[in-house]
Chains A and B, each alone.
Chain A
Amino acid sequence: MRLQLVDVKGYHIAPQYLSLYRILYCVCVVVFVGLPSYTWLSSDLNFLFNPPQYSLAGLFNGFPSALFFKILTLLNLIFFAMMFLGMYCRVTSIAFAVTAILGHNYCYSFGKIDHLLMWLIAPIFLSLAGWGDYLAINRVKNKNGLTDSDNSLYIIMLAAAIAFSMFTSGFQKFLGGWQNWEAEAVRFHLIKKYYSLGDLNVVADYLMTVKNHLVWKLFDYSALILEIGFLFSIMRRNWFQLFLAGGTVFHILVLLMFNIAFYSNIIVYLVFINWNAIFKLFNYDFVANSAKRIKFILCLTAASICVVLYWVYLFFTAGEIMKFPNAIDILTGQQALQAPSKTSMYLLFLSSLIVLVFCLFVTLINRLRARRVYNR
């Protein structure tokens, strides 16, 4: 009997589903997040230049000129639109990720790095896995004419990136002493955020009154187990899915407690759902039908592209902005040009919770069906 320590093949996702995910990823960015803009940066801010020691920005003495950031923002916007429509998807997805990471190198040159990286590197792995093979304006087929090649390696590499980042976070918590019975680490960070930010919500207000040591240790230990356990969960896809479900709940709690919207991971978790099981529930063969134009997806794409065109208009008219507003902020008139509004973030996390509950429901139904067939 041959044992597989890591089941690489188990991570295979049909490119038809990946292409559907590409559309959903771009729609998520358009509706909930908005695209970054780097037009607010220029060499005028050189006196605040303090990049990470080892970064591309760290190689230079200051910010490049405003023109550089304007070109970078425009290129990033164009690559995003092309990736969305599936035009030269492999190249444009990688170009989108590279331009965004390059821009963020400079955004994070004021003495602080944010860890919203996963949504920027995901297009690199997923484009190599074939997320531009279907639902695209110009499909580029492989040499042998088949598009459903084994893409499991790229998917598991993305899974490993997620798991590793969570593990590093958990491991440093372990080194910091979160496991000590006397420590109340979550409580300490809540107090710290509560009195330094002063912008936390009602859940934080309530939790500030909780003094039960067992409750705080439950938070500490569950965070530790989840984050460290992520690394080992990649051995099997279903274990990893279980941790992603835990991760979703974890990020929702972090939003409610600390007002930190860690949207970067939430968007990427979606790719690992059981696509087959979901379409099986509706007796719809998406793999066979995805090559045909699906009206719903077309409408979704058309509506989103309208928002992207509005971003192009803003690029030429709005001057120095930090981000292009997402559809929710445009519709609610908030026009948040610095960071996504609270409303859009709450709706994103609520949507992720709905997806999670739906996936659990699908799993349950499929298990019941399988048991019924087995009993017959």
Chain B
Amino acid sequence: MENFTKAHWIFYAYVLILFCSAAAEKLGHFYPSLVFPSFSNAPDIRHKAEFPVAGIFGITSNGSKVKLDEEQLFYNLYPKHKYYVLKTIASKINNNEYSEKEIADLKKYLTKCLNRQGLNNFKSLIIVQGNRTYNMISSKVDHDFSNPVYTNIVLF
């Protein structure tokens, strides 16, 4: 038989609230939240490991493609989130969530970031999202993205 005190009741109610908050996470993302979902998947990697990647490329006026370093490009944003910034931009463009003013602001911002690096020869930028595959037997990774999705941002 448990010796229940007021502290026990408060504690159990608190734990119940924590579990309810975890259930509420099913509705969408919360912040602040004590639910830590990172690193949860465990796909079958006996033959190959496939993982999502994203990159940004600059397109010059003669059509050649140059890989850009996101870390340097988004110099004034939190460094560990730069991959997600690419995803956010791509998602908003592909789902037509940007207003005309926001698109203009985005172009202005990207041009400023490129100019800062002395890169003013690009007519557009392309965000490429896809998967990369690691071969478990040969321990080599494919350099090309599989199932790529392109998002084009015309600068001029």
Contacts and interface: CB of A to CB of B under 8 A. Distances in A.
Contact of A3 (B1, B28, B53, B77): B1
B132 A105 contact: no
Interface in B109-124: 109
A22 to B, nearest CB: 22
A74 interface: no
B141 interface: yes
B92 A50 contact: yes
B15 A188 contact: no
Interface stretch (A174-182, A306-314, A348-356, A361-369): A174-182
- Majority-rule SS of B interface residues: mixed
B53 A196 contact: yes
B39 A121 contact: no
B51 A113 contact: no
B68 interface: no
Given A168-B36, A180-B42, A50 B132 contact: no
B interface bracket (residues with beta carbon within 8 Å of A): 35 or more
Given A112-B81, A169-B38, A164 B134 contact: no
A interface bracket (residues with beta carbon within 8 Å of B): 35 or more
A220 B92 CA distance: 36
Given A3-B2, A152-B7, A161 B46 contact: no
Interface in B1-53: 1-3, 5, 7-8, 10-11, 14-15, 18-19, 22, 24, 27-46, 49, 51, 53
B156 to A, nearest CB: 18
Contact of B88 (A48, A104, A180, A184): A48
Interface string A42-67: 00111110111111110000000000
A52 B31 contact: yes
A104 B31 contact: yes
B126 to A, nearest CB: 18
A111 interface: yes
Interface in B53-91: 53, 76-81, 83-85, 87-89, 91
Contacts of A150: 7
A161 B14 CA distance: 9
B144 interface: no
Interface in A111-156: 111-115, 117, 120-121, 150, 152-153, 156
Interface centre among A52, A153, A176, A191 (most CB of B within 10 A): A191
Given A160-B18, A168-B34, 14 more contacts: A8-B5, A48-B88, A104-B32, A108-B31, A112-B81, A160-B14, A160-B15, A161-B18, A164-B18, A168-B22, A169-B36, A178-B42, A189-B39, A196-B51
Instruction: For the complex of A and B, list the 4 residue pairs with the smallest distance between their C-beta atoms, beginning with the closest.
Output: A53-B28, A185-B42, A112-B84, A111-B84
17 contacts: A2-B1, A2-B2, A2-B3, A8-B7, A8-B11, A46-B105, A47-B98, A47-B105, A115-B38, A165-B34, A168-B36, A173-B39, A183-B43, A184-B42, A188-B43, A191-B49, A195-B51
